[in-house]
Structure 1
């Protein structure tokens, strides 16, 4: 049955708007070419969309040799303003953009863990108000929020999760009260990060992949056949609760301690680094410390720390005599040949690998060389831990690609990703590519902005009879 004239017009209008969104400003002739519509039909839709205030003339195309320049039509960017929030346990980041996603203003504010619920909510709301004002926006059309914890798939609300600050849940209601005309959407932070990595990051060429979030906590997002999978209760990817070997116990329904979180969370990463003498300075364990120690270890293992040692050549935990000898030769490569020490040299130190309790031979002809070897062993041990979680995901989902996300995943870069991939290759018959995040922690805010923009455009570009 052919579409009615009104339905056909709505379909054509929506197609033209999507093209303008994806391609940027276009002439009527370019719209005709890309849509396959007739010249009169394109002329009609341009007139309708202009009258509706959705598109406007934004310039001219001067490629024509004779006659007047063709008008360029673009989406009216200030038709709606959007806000994106990244809510963390330690603070909030906010971005305000126009309808096409151009960032107009952004800011962050730390929120101390001792701050009460009311004051914390007031701080966050005041930040949003300030950023909206700096962006020159009168009101917000859509607000996208990324938050840790479970999102109820039926109501779309942030569920009460033990261990998360109460102000997280209160903030959503407070924003809705402050911006009553805005549509406020909440999504799990790891899910948003995955959407951003698929659109602009490490998974651009993948419609099926898993993002392993490595930050203050751990999480995973699953994208299968181009669609984000949330699960029956919104808990798909709660990998922090995955029971794994190497922990002091088992996780509980209200505490992920003892699960994969105990191996891959920021506190666990910093503690592991400390066992190799790589602890950063500071008394408290926060996410930035884990990022710092991983980044420094990668720099050392990559040769950026002054020793010129390739990542693949850094000393590894003892598993074969040949690997030990190669590691020792690498660690001593900066010295004269006659100063290199054999494995049985009394000055060589036998350490114990903290995860496997196997001997690790090393030598320290100088402090710098010892640090390089320690960095390599730390990254190997971290890759051992991460591979446990990745292998579990691979065995069940066979995603073909795993992205190490979050700030820690980005700090680890190709050096850490390559180590994890090597272990998965030995542990699983399923071919799996492991990649570092292309966006790091910024992926959450980027994903929140993308979902806000799509929600706003879906409403503003909707057929009038829908």
Structure 2
């Protein structure tokens, strides 16, 4: 049975809106080419979507062209507003953006580990409210939150963990209650993978594994274009991988003795100390600088350190590759970005020696900002789906 005229119009409108979401502004002629609809049908849907406040003229396709087809139509960006938060143990970074993801304002705050739960939550929400107000935003439609730890795949809530501060779990329901916005929480490493796939080094990959290498470590798995979370939300907890070289085994209550002990920032700093590249009592963040400096050096202890680090990372990567055969591993986070192509090449060589599965190793290009970018991508896609539904 053919669709009714109203159903056909809704399908056409949704198709046009999806194209504008994915590709950005298009002319009526470009919409005709991409949808396969007739010129009159496209003209009708453009008029209909503009009248509904979904789209507007945002420019012209070229100065040499004139007429209706030269007009560029884009989504109305201020129909709703978004926020994204990167929640870490030591603080929060956040941005406020329009519905197309253009950042309007950003801010950050530090949270002392001794600060009371209620105070940390209140300061975070107050900062978000103040930042939104400074951006001229009265109400937030959707908020994306990236945080360490497991996210329950059923409830979407952060699961209880003795390793993480309680204010992380209290923040999401407090945001919902105080601001009345839709709040979406996701593991930070998963968000980094979404960001690298949309705007980073994995844009051409439907299947890959991202290794997050920073103050902590983790992994995100994307198979056939879908982020895989697992039955309990724990896909990618590679810190618990039993690997040689740690002198112990991980347990159900902690990843000490697992791959974590080879690759987290403290382990990287200790390794750099073995090669005389750092002194004692250096802050953990110094590990990122050491990796960056070694990646730019030639010869000597710096290259030896980078070789040793690559060997460690390849051990964890080989275990993941043996199970998933992703064809591509992205080294992300602060260490991955600091090491760049120099570290990625070394890991690829060592991985090839350990595994018969052909695997490309790439350096992530978004660094620590990938979590915030991924949170914004998540908020934007969810909000557009809700707002741009004719």
Superposition TM-score tier, normalisation by shorter sequence: over 0.9
After superposition, the Cα gap between the structure-2 partners of 1:128 and 1:384, relative to the gap in structure 1 and judged at 3 Å, is same
- Whole-Å Cα distance in 1 between the matches of residues 191 and 3 of structure 2? 36
Q: Deviations over 1:293-342 (max 9, x none)?
A: 11122122xxxxxxxx3xxxx3xxxxxxxxxxxxxxxxxxxxxxxxxxxx
Q: Deviations over 1:396-455 (max 9, x none)?
A: 111110000101100011111111110011111100111111111111111111111100
Residue 111 of structure 1 corresponds to which residue in structure 2?
A: 111
After superposition, the Cα gap between the structure-2 partners of 1:65 and 1:98, relative to the gap in structure 1 and judged at 3 Å, is closer
- Whole-Å Cα distance in 2 between the matches of residues 247 and 67 of structure 1? 69
- Whole-Å Cα distance in 2 between the matches of residues 295 and 223 of structure 1? 27
Contact between 1:162 and 1:255, CA under 8 Å: does it hold in 2?
no
Contact between 2:265 and 2:287, CA under 8 Å: does it hold in 1?
yes
After superposition, the Cα gap between the structure-2 partners of 1:60 and 1:417, relative to the gap in structure 1 and judged at 3 Å, is closer
SS in 1 for 2:296: helix
After superposition, the Cα gap between the structure-2 partners of 1:385 and 1:187, relative to the gap in structure 1 and judged at 3 Å, is same
Residue 377 of structure 1 corresponds to which residue in structure 2?
A: 304
Residue 206 of structure 2 corresponds to which residue in structure 1?
A: 207
Give 1:135 deviation, angstroms: 1.7
Residue 326 of structure 1 corresponds to which residue in structure 2?
A: none
Residue 287 of structure 2 corresponds to which residue in structure 1?
A: 290
Residue 331 of structure 1 corresponds to which residue in structure 2?
A: none
SS in 2 for 1:233: coil
Counting only pairs closer than 5 Å after superposition, residues 42-121 of structure 1 correspond to structure 2 as: 42-61=42-61, 63=63, 70-121=70-121
- Whole-Å Cα distance in 2 between the matches of residues 265 and 67 of structure 1? 59
Residue range with higher mean Cα deviation, 113-122 or 203-212: 113-122
Q: Does 1:437 align with 2:364?
A: yes
Give 1:173 deviation, angstroms: 1.4
Give 1:127 deviation, angstroms: 1.8
Residue 251 of structure 1 corresponds to which residue in structure 2?
A: 250
Counting only pairs closer than 5 Å after superposition, residues 27-426 of structure 1 correspond to structure 2 as: 27-61=27-61, 63=63, 70-180=70-180, 182-279=181-278, 283=281, 285-286=283-284, 288-300=285-297, 309=298, 314=299, 373-426=300-353
- Whole-Å Cα distance in 2 between the matches of residues 374 and 261 of structure 1? 24
After superposition, the Cα gap between the structure-2 partners of 1:273 and 1:63, relative to the gap in structure 1 and judged at 3 Å, is same
Give 1:381 deviation, angstroms: 1.2
Over the aligned positions, Cα root-mean-square deviation in angstroms equals: 1.7
Q: Deviations over 1:381-405 (max 9, x none)?
A: 1111111100000111111100001
After superposition, the Cα gap between the structure-2 partners of 1:66 and 1:398, relative to the gap in structure 1 and judged at 3 Å, is closer
TM-score, length basis structure 2:
0.96
TM-score, length basis structure 1:
0.80
SS in 2 for 1:34: helix
Contact between 2:25 and 2:58, CA under 8 Å: does it hold in 1?
yes
Residue range with higher mean Cα deviation, 67-76 or 195-204: 67-76
SS in 1 for 2:273: helix
After superposition, the Cα gap between the structure-2 partners of 1:441 and 1:67, relative to the gap in structure 1 and judged at 3 Å, is closer
SS in 2 for 1:56: strand
Contact between 2:86 and 2:94, CA under 8 Å: does it hold in 1?
yes
Q: Does 1:26 align with 2:26?
A: yes
Contact between 2:82 and 2:97, CA under 8 Å: does it hold in 1?
yes
Residue range with higher mean Cα deviation, 140-149 or 105-114: 105-114
Contact between 2:210 and 2:221, CA under 8 Å: does it hold in 1?
yes
- Whole-Å Cα distance in 1 between the matches of residues 23 and 194 of structure 2? 20
- Whole-Å Cα distance in 2 between the matches of residues 291 and 131 of structure 1? 29
After superposition, the Cα gap between the structure-2 partners of 1:409 and 1:98, relative to the gap in structure 1 and judged at 3 Å, is same
SS in 1 for 2:367: coil
Over alpha carbons, which structure has the higher Rg? 1
After superposition, the Cα gap between the structure-2 partners of 1:375 and 1:17, relative to the gap in structure 1 and judged at 3 Å, is same
Give 1:201 deviation, angstroms: 1.0
Residue range with higher mean Cα deviation, 266-275 or 106-115: 106-115
- Whole-Å Cα distance in 2 between the matches of residues 30 and 423 of structure 1? 47
Give 1:248 deviation, angstroms: 3.2
Consecutive unaligned residues in structure 2, runs of 5 or more: none
After superposition, the Cα gap between the structure-2 partners of 1:293 and 1:48, relative to the gap in structure 1 and judged at 3 Å, is same
Contact between 1:84 and 1:94, CA under 8 Å: does it hold in 2?
yes
- Whole-Å Cα distance in 2 between the matches of residues 428 and 71 of structure 1? 53
Contact between 1:266 and 1:285, CA under 8 Å: does it hold in 2?
no
SS in 2 for 1:441: helix
Residue 324 of structure 1 corresponds to which residue in structure 2?
A: none
Aligned to 1:450, which of 356, 377, 385? 377
Give 1:40 deviation, angstroms: 2.0
